Amino acid sequence: MHLSFDNDSPCIFTKDIEMADYPVRHGEGKFIAEQGIIDRLVANHQVVLRYCDEKGIPAKGSFPLNPNGSMDDIAGICDSTGRIFGLMPHPEAYNHFTNHPDWTKRKSERKRKSSKVFDKTQLAPGIKIFKNGVDYLS
């Protein structure tokens, strides 16, 4: 799923991540809350990530961009300190470029353009979240 991140969020895990594609492994789970709670979370930048299209435009509840009907396209939130983070997509499932559903297409496109298939010095998008947590503690 395409996800956009709130760069003003206090979340320590999402530092320097603007967009990412993470797999989802659920069909039933979704974010539901009273509108007042959602408004407060948004105002405090605690809505860390939302479902969107490939350009970062909000899904506006449309399937399949918002795969589970989460209110306000919310895919992840954090507490006010930014140290507690809950999300529905699974970044741990995207720990190598071959984990992306379009990896074979991307590989072919890069080969045709004579560019590197994968930059081994760059972390996979799913690992970046965990590295940010470790960096925060060091």
CA 38 – CA 74 distance, rounded (Å): 9
Q: Is-contact 85 92, C-beta < 8 A?
A: no
Helices (H) and strands (E) in the chain, counts: 3, 5
Question: Tokens 């072919």 label which residue?
Answer: 108
Instruction: Name the β-bridge partners of 3.
Output: 20, 51
pLDDT of residue 27: 66
pLDDT of residue 5: 96
Q: Is-contact 92 128, C-beta < 8 A?
A: no
Per run of 10 residues, the mean pLDDT along the chain (length 138 residues) is 95 94 81 97 98 95 94 97 94 84 80 73 86 95
Please, is 5 exposed, middle or buried when counting C-beta atoms within 10 Å of its C-beta (0-12, 13-18, 19+)? buried
Instruction: Using alpha carbons only, give the angle 75, 12, 20 rounded to the nearest 5 degrees.
Output: 45
Pick the CATH number of 2-97+123-137 from 3.20.20.70, 1.10.3720.10, 3.40.50.880, 3.30.2270.10: 3.40.50.880
pLDDT of residue 98: 81
pLDDT of residue 106: 78
pLDDT of residue 37: 97
pLDDT of residue 24: 85
pLDDT of residue 85: 97
CA 134 – CA 117 distance, rounded (Å): 28
For residue 5, the SS3 value is strand
Complete DSSP assignment for 91-119: GGG-SSGGGSTTHHHHHHHHHHTT--S--
